Amino acid sequence: MFSRSAIAACLVSVLIQSANASDPRPNIVFIFSDDHAAHAIGAYGGLLASVNPTPNIDKLGQQGMLFSNCFCANSICGPSRASIITGKHAHANGFGQNENQFDQGQPTFPKMLQKAGYTTAMIGKWHLGSDPQGFDYWKILPGQGVYYNPDFVSPSGEERIEGHCTELITDMALEWLKNGRDKSKPFLLMCQHKAPHRNWMPQLKYLSLYNDTRIPEPDTLFDDYADNAIPARIQEMEIDRHMTLVYDLFALPPDQDPTPNLATDKSGVANLERMTPVQRKAWDDGFAKDNAAFAVAQLTGMDLVRWKYQRYMKNYLRCVRGVDDCVGELMKAIDEEGLADNTVVIYSSDQGFYLGDYGWYDKRWMYDVSMRMPLIVKWPGVTKPGSTCDLLTQNIDFAETFLDIAGLKPNADMQGVSLVPLLKGQKPADWRDALYYHYLEFPSVHMVARHYGIRTNRYKLIHFYEFGEWEFYDLQRDPEERLNQYNNPDYADTITGLKGRLEDLRKVYKDASDVSEKPADWQARYRAADKKP
């Protein structure tokens, strides 16, 4: 005889199982890369589309919706991630600079999904300084992580794993998807790559990809920033003056010492020294012929910039290819697991990136190249295949979108808007017509001055407040932001109006941070670095 309580327990168990088996809430697979500019994705078109196929990401676009005007709130790795998981601007979540520690005590969408019955996993680059919370499973790269034989941190400690980080992260995500997750629950899988972040070390199998291709150069590769405010001229992110031959480009023979005083070059050598002898030989062999020719050529001036651009872009695009492979492998596994009909797949990256545009690499600026994020969403039965949404969207919207997909309400203090109506093909009449942006890390690596601003569908106004300088662009007439029109009297009324709207946005988002001007102090300090033509 079974006892009454045993029968009751059995019934409860059956009820829970049947409830979970029929739980209609969609699974969410968030594939996220680092520094993958939209203009290095085939589906976004542009200069590189002809040489840079991203077949798996493009296919996702063909099956889902591509957001052509998605932007970050602060164009740098950690802050973008913090905005994504909290649904808040940096001043509101406390994570405005990469060296900050994320306060894990605050509400995040993974925590809320987990509490609501999702099983959750975070694999790869986390970059928030403190251990993840809200995940049933997590395994992350410490800090920025490294490309070859990376360390991974999990609740059980730290271990070094042999291989390339893009392949390792993909394999861990596949393993969790197939065998690791609680299959009685809907799931959230965050698969977050280091690639194609600096210092752009591709998988060995892609070292010769693009060897016979000349990557087209952007028109602005030799920009002199003559029309810009001072900050564009005192930055330290030029391919010409700041990209290093060893750390960034692996352009010296392997037996030669790196430039003695460049800390970056020394850390680049440390990256190479992590390789196994077999990996290292294949790596050195892959660049040997080109490096020998480079040593003989003794390039200078514009020729040297052009050579650096080619090496940089080839390695960057090789890293992109590895990420694209991951998208394909995850899509295949989702199919094989019978999950395709009820799984939302998202591809995005934390910000844009300069691919020689304006002569630069890196990000940080409010200019579109670095502010724009790729965002492609496939939601079977909801997103119209091959559709595009051009409404203004931002990374602070992601958390509320994922909660909405799961049928959950956002926290009252989240600052974004759910994109679910847009995913359904709606164009709400009251959709936002302006975005707020604030970059905070200065003085710091790459020396991009603090700035905040407003971007509407047509205009952009940027305030480099410490320098007491402004920039203004008419994006309709000048989509590449090549001519700062702040002092053009024809735009005076427009600029006055935008200044008012910018102050309104600061109130709406409750950004009370100090943006006072200190032009005498700051301009004097950096005047020597200003190479105004």
Site for Ca ion in 244-263 (CB under 5 A): none
Nearest residue to Ca ion by CB is 77
Token pair listed for 153 = 């941190």
Instruction: Provide the 10 A C-beta neighbour count for residue 332.
Output: 13
Note the helical H segments in 176-262.
231-234
Smaller CB distance to Ca ion: residue 193 or 308? 193
Residues 20-49: x where in contact with Ca ion by CB under 5 A, - otherwise, as a string: --------------xx--------------
Nearer to Ca ion, 349 or 401 (CB): 349
Helices (H), 42-181: 55-63, 77-86, 90-93, 109-115, 165-175
Nearer to Ca ion, 291 or 395 (CB): 395
Where are the alpha helices (H) located in 394-491, listed in sequence order? 398-405, 420-423
Between residue 109 and residue 128, which ones bind Ca ion under the rule CB under 5 A?
Answer: none
Tell me: does residue 441 bind Ca ion (CB under 5 A): no
Task: Name the residue nearer to Ca ion (CB basis): 353 or 442.
Answer: 353
Determine the Cα–Cα distance for residues 248 and 246; give it in Å rounded to an integer. Answer: 6
**End-to-end distance of the chain based on CA atoms, in angstroms?**
93
| Sign of the four-CA dihedral 177, 182, 186, 192 | negative
Nearer to Ca ion, 34 or 469 (CB): 34
SS (H, E, C) 329-361: HHHHHHHHCCCHHHEEEEEEECCCCCCCHHHEC
Span from 132-140, 164-172, 287-295, 342-350 in contact with Ca ion (CB under 5 A)? 342-350
84 or 113: CB nearest Ca ion: 84
Tell me the closest approach of the beta carbon of residue 167 to Ca ion, in angstroms: 20
- Alpha-carbon 473 to chain mean position: 24
Q: Which of 58, 248, 350, 404 touches Ca ion (CB under 5 A)? A: 350
Q: Which stretch binds Ca ion (CB under 5 A): 70-78, 85-93, 292-300, 511-519?
A: 70-78
Q: How far is the CB of 350 from Ca ion (least distance, A)?
A: 4
Choose between 362 and 404: whose C-beta lies nearer to Ca ion.
362
Q: How far apart are CA 244 and CA 18, in angstroms?
A: 59
Strands (E), 319-464: 343-349, 375-378, 387-389, 393-394, 434-439, 451-456, 459-464
The DSSP result for 392-417, as a single string, is: -EEGGGHHHHHHHHTT-PPPTT--S-
Number of residues that bind Ca ion (CB under 5 A): 4
In angstroms, what is the minimal distance from the CB of 88 to Ca ion?
A: 18
Give least dist CB 262 to Ca ion, A. Answer: 22
Q: How far is the CB of 197 from Ca ion (least distance, A)?
A: 6
C-alpha–C-alpha distance, residues 223 and 219, integer Å:
8
Give least dist CB 35 to Ca ion, A.
4
Residue range at the interface with Ca ion (CB under 5 A); choices 71-79, 116-124, 404-412, 494-502 = 71-79
Quick one: 258 or 352, whose CB is closer to Ca ion? 352
Span interacting with Ca ion, options 208-216, 292-300, 348-356, 385-393, rule CB under 5 A: 348-356
- In the complex with Ca ion, the residue whose CB is nearer, 325 or 350, is 350
Phi, psi of 189 (to 5 degrees): -120, 115
The number of beta carbons lying within 10 Å of the beta carbon of residue 348 is 22
> Least separation, in Å, of the C-beta of 142 and Ca ion?
16
Show the CA angle centred on residue 225, arms to residues 68 and 233, nearest 5°: 105
Give residue for tokens 């971007």: 455
The answer to whether 188 and 121 have CB atoms below 8 angstroms apart is: yes
Between the CA atoms of 340, 344, 350 and 351, what dihedral angle is there, to the nearest 10 degrees? 100
Which of the stretches 65-73, 315-323, 344-352, 487-495 binds Ca ion when contact is defined by CB under 5 A? 344-352
Nearer residue to Ca ion within complex by CB, 75 or 343: 75
CB nearer to Ca ion: give 120 or 351: 351
Nearer of residues 77 and 399 to Ca ion, judged by Cβ: 77
| SS3 state of residue 225 | coil
We find the least distance from the C-beta atom of residue 401 to Ca ion, in angstroms, to be 20
| Structural contact between residues 463 and 515, judged by C-beta atoms closer than 8 angstroms | yes
Judged by beta carbon, residue 34 or residue 368, the one nearer Ca ion is 34
One residue of 77, 320, 435, 495 binding Ca ion per CB under 5 A: 77
Please, what is the minimum distance in Å from the beta carbon of residue 235 to Ca ion? Answer: 17
Window of 43-51, 347-355, 397-405, 422-430 that interacts with Ca ion by CB under 5 A:
347-355
Q: How far is the CB of 300 from Ca ion (least distance, A)?
A: 32
CB of 127: closest distance to Ca ion in angstroms?
A: 8
Joined together, the tokens standing for residue 183 give: 């299959």
**Side by side, which strands form the sheet with 434-439?**
434-439, 451-456, 459-464, 469-474
H-run or E-run covering 300: none
What DSSP state is assigned to residue 372? Answer: B
Rule CB under 5 A: which residues touch Ca ion? 34-35, 77, 350
